[in-house]
Structure 1
Amino acid sequence: MRGLKGKTAIVTGAGSGIGRAIALRLAAEGITVGVFDISEKGANETVAAIQEAGGKAIAAIADITQYTSVVEALKAFEEAAGAGTDILVNNAGWDTPMPFLKTDEAFWKKVVEINWFGPLHVTHAVAQGMAARKAGRIINIASDAGRVGSSGEVVYSGCKGATIAFAKALARELARNQITVNNVCPGPTETPAMEAFVGSGEQGQKIRDAMVRGVPLGRIGLPDDYPGLVAFLASEDAAFITGQTISVSGGLTMHG
């Protein structure tokens, strides 16, 4: 895609799942990718996969719930890359299924710290450099749970809804600096997080089957279903697109 080769990008939660797939795609486009993850093992595995494919990547171990950790990881990445960050993909997230009335304050705080404060921390740190350079692309991996709600994911849905609204408001503020901000909303996706979410065995298969029945295209998502759209939104082909929310869910949700 136009305008990606030679750029730099940070992908949070890039040590596995959707984040890893996005990092691999961006690297294939000629981007130097900062693989941000709390798991050193996962980050290094993603970097190795990118390098094996002939791409450039730098691992950065970061806890996105801690602003100081984000700032330190950002500084290390930009020094190693020799350039500021052109593209930010806020992908990292976490949840576990549970009826809201069975949750407690400790659970709420964990979900909010990762899924809401995490993107705030990373965006605040990275966007300052983008604003100074008057260029940048910010792409949030939100969720259809934030558009239509998801039973058993009440707090997570709230965080993703907040992320969607945050991106719209931020897109207005940063437009003067030629920074675009957009959301990509996956539907249910086959990832390690999904495995933990639905479990295995007969009960887990029943949940998967129910998910599939709700998707017009007849399957749940795969990590490779999202990187193409992310690459497009990061490219010059999407230079006039900002403040938008796009579902990639096989038709599970349809918005006019």
Structure 2
Amino acid sequence: MTTLIVGSGGIGLAAARRIGGEPVLTYRRNEPADPPPGATLRRLDVTDPVAVAELVASVPGLDAVVVTSGHRHDFEFFAKQDPAVAEEIVATELLGPMNVVRAALGALGDRGRIVLVGSDSGKAGTLGDAASSAARAGLLGFVRSIARETARTDVTVNVVSPGPTDTGLLGELLDGDDLAAKVMRGTVAAIPKRRTAQPEEIAEAIAYFLGPNSGFTTGQVLSVSGGLTMT
């Protein structure tokens, strides 16, 4: 399987290791120091639709696309947030994945797998993170629409929706003393499983959607959140 993984944070790297093969793994600013063996690293800004289209077209024999891109930002009440920051968040976390999916649909043709990694903030909302929660919620409607558009083919489109996950970013948030730290500490404390997720647990959910027996599952949202959001 030839897989493009957009985003090389903790979840993206775990997905690359779980999926195996020789994935194409992208990053925006910081090249990962420990990519899995066989991975090809490419720099990509998902908010640039031309760059996205060119990169996707350059991957021969593409079978699957996984998008894990996110925007690092401070938490702030929406009424006080710089509108430009909110727009950057939405551009990265909603419009960026849309750019990737648009290009992927052209490259995949009538068969392939697409998985977008969102967040359970898209279901429940997060205090001080309204723009990101809105972007993540937008992914859910987008994926369901694309799943309907591609349902007569062997293309599937799904969302993996993690709760708090033990990555470097979460560690930075929890160690702080600002609004983000307070909100995230409260969120972690509310997880029924009494722990955060491991990146490998998120990667396992991604692997299911890419697997050979997942062709009848499309337009779905799978929360991997320790029971934080039960529906």
Normalising by the residue count of structure 2, what TM-score does the alignment of the two structures yield?
A: 0.92
- State how far apart, in whole Å, the 2-side matches of 1:108 and 1:92 are: 16
Match of 1:222 among 176, 193, 198: 198
- State how far apart, in whole Å, the 2-side matches of 1:35 and 1:101 are: 36
Match of 1:105 among 83, 89, 92: 83
Match of 2:42 among 45, 60, 67: 60
Q: Which amino acid aligns with 2:25?
A: V
Task: Determine the structure 1 residue equivalent to 2:147.
Answer: 171
Deviates more, 1:185-194 or 1:207-216: 207-216
1:235-256 deviations in whole A, cap 9, x for unaligned? 112111011111000001101x
- Is residue 132 of structure 2 the alignment partner of residue 156 of structure 1? yes
Q: Which amino acid aligns with 1:32?
A: E
Task: Determine the structure 1 residue equivalent to 2:105.
Answer: 127
Q: How far off is 1:203 after superposition?
A: 8.7
Aligned-partner SS, 2:102: helix
Q: Which amino acid aligns with 1:111?
A: I
1:220-242 deviations in whole A, cap 9, x for unaligned? 22212201111111011211101
Provide structure 2 residue ranges, at least 5 long, that are not aligned to the other structure.
Answer: none
- Is residue 173 of structure 2 the alignment partner of residue 197 of structure 1? yes
Contact 1:142 1:160 in 2 (8 A): yes
Q: How far off is 1:163 after superposition?
A: 0.5
Contact 2:76 2:179 in 1 (8 A): no
Normalising by the residue count of structure 1, what TM-score does the alignment of the two structures yield?
A: 0.83
Q: How far off is 1:190 after superposition?
A: 2.3
Alignment of 1:65-76 (within 5 A): 65-76=47-58
Task: Determine the structure 1 residue equivalent to 2:3.
Answer: 9
Contact 1:141 1:185 in 2 (8 A): yes
- State how far apart, in whole Å, the 2-side matches of 1:37 and 1:168 are: 27
Contact 2:5 2:25 in 1 (8 A): yes
- State how far apart, in whole Å, the 1-side matches of 2:184 and 2:125 are: 18
Q: How far off is 1:141 after superposition?
A: 0.4
- State how far apart, in whole Å, the 1-side matches of 2:126 and 2:226 are: 16
Match of 1:250 among 214, 226, 230: 226
Contact 2:161 2:221 in 1 (8 A): yes
Contact 1:137 1:179 in 2 (8 A): yes
Return the structure number with greater helix share.
1
Q: Which amino acid aligns with 1:173?
A: E
Matched residues, percent identical?
Answer: 30
- State how far apart, in whole Å, the 2-side matches of 1:155 and 1:164 are: 15
Provide structure 1 residue ranges, at least 5 long, that are not aligned to the other structure.
Answer: 1-6
Contact 2:191 2:227 in 1 (8 A): yes
1:96-154 deviations in whole A, cap 9, x for unaligned? 311111102111111011001110111111111112xx111011101111111111110
Task: Determine the structure 2 residue equivalent to 1:37.
Answer: 27
- State how far apart, in whole Å, the 2-side matches of 1:245 and 1:41 are: 29
Match of 1:18 among 8, 11, 22: 11
- Closer, same or farther in 2 for the Cα pair 1:111/1:196, shift >3 Å? farther
Q: Which amino acid aligns with 2:49?
A: Y
